[in-house]
Amino acid sequence: MNHQSSHPQPASPEESRRVAEAARETSWNKPGFLRELFLGRLRMDLLFPFPEPKGIDRPEFQAFYTQLEALLREVDADEIDRKGKIPRDVIRKLAALGAFGMKIERKYGGLGLTQSEYNQVMKLLGSRDGNITALLSAHQSIGVPQPLALFGSDAQKEKYLPRIAKGAVSAFALTEPEVGSDPAKLAATVSESEDGEAFILNGEKLWCTNGTIA
């Protein structure tokens, strides 16, 4: 993989708006409460009866949750803050529990948690240590597993998801000198080389979430 040092220009406001507008949803399976409220319709039937979380009473989930809770009791969150680094031993134990494969299907070696179960885990992590929360949440959501599950080919899933489920940490690089949380304005580009043997990356990133250990 190659990297060129020249810096491409960021997208113009007009280009950014076109990208954002093209990404809008154009159809819905059913109306949403906030959308209806914006249109002046108070649809209380969309809120009640409130749906009960699914799966959080499963024995398999409860076993994982209990083990994770026990591990987090061993973690010194203040020490992590002082040193700015999560101990490798903690990362290894998280991997052994399957924490890096929470949202990955079981057929690829993951835990296959439901969204309700995943939310319960995030609540637990957030109550114990923000650093580990960021590590695991970024890995599961904006890292490789979720986009790959949604848009990857079968071959890509079979190649990468088992590795990720076992603890290969994924990272995410968005922020650029002139771009924060608006991906429509990204300037970095990637293109295939003429010989088809490599990809050419051209651009600059300010930081990369999980990049130091991915």
Domains of the chain, first to last: 59-165 (1.10.540.10), 171-214 (no CATH)
Contact 124, 68 (CB under 8 A): yes
Beta strands in the chain, from DSSP E residues, in sequence order: 2-4, 189-192, 199-202
- C-alpha distances out from residue 28 to 24, 35, 39, Å: 11, 11, 15
Weakest-pLDDT range from 47-51, 66-70, 116-120, 165-169:
47-51
Residue 25: both structure tokens together: 């949803």
CA dist 205 and 133 (Å) reads 23
pLDDT bracket for residue 7 (50, 70, 90): low
Look at 127 and 2; give whichever has higher pLDDT. 127
* Residue from 131, 121, 44 nearest 87 by CA: 131
Look at 161 and 30; give whichever has higher pLDDT. 161
Query: Is the pLDDT at 57 greater than 70, yes or no?
Result: yes
CA dist 21 and 7 (Å) reads 26
Contact 202, 189 (CB under 8 A): yes
pLDDT in tens, 98-132: 999 999 999 999 999 998 999 999 999 999 999 99
Residue 111: both structure tokens together: 């835990």
Hey, is 67 helix, strand or coil?
helix
Please count the helices (runs of H) and the strands (runs of E) in the chain: 9, 3
CA dist 213 and 35 (Å) reads 40
Q: List all residues 6 or more positions away from 66 whose beta carbon is below 8 Å from its beta carbon.
A: none
pLDDT bracket for residue 5 (50, 70, 90): very low
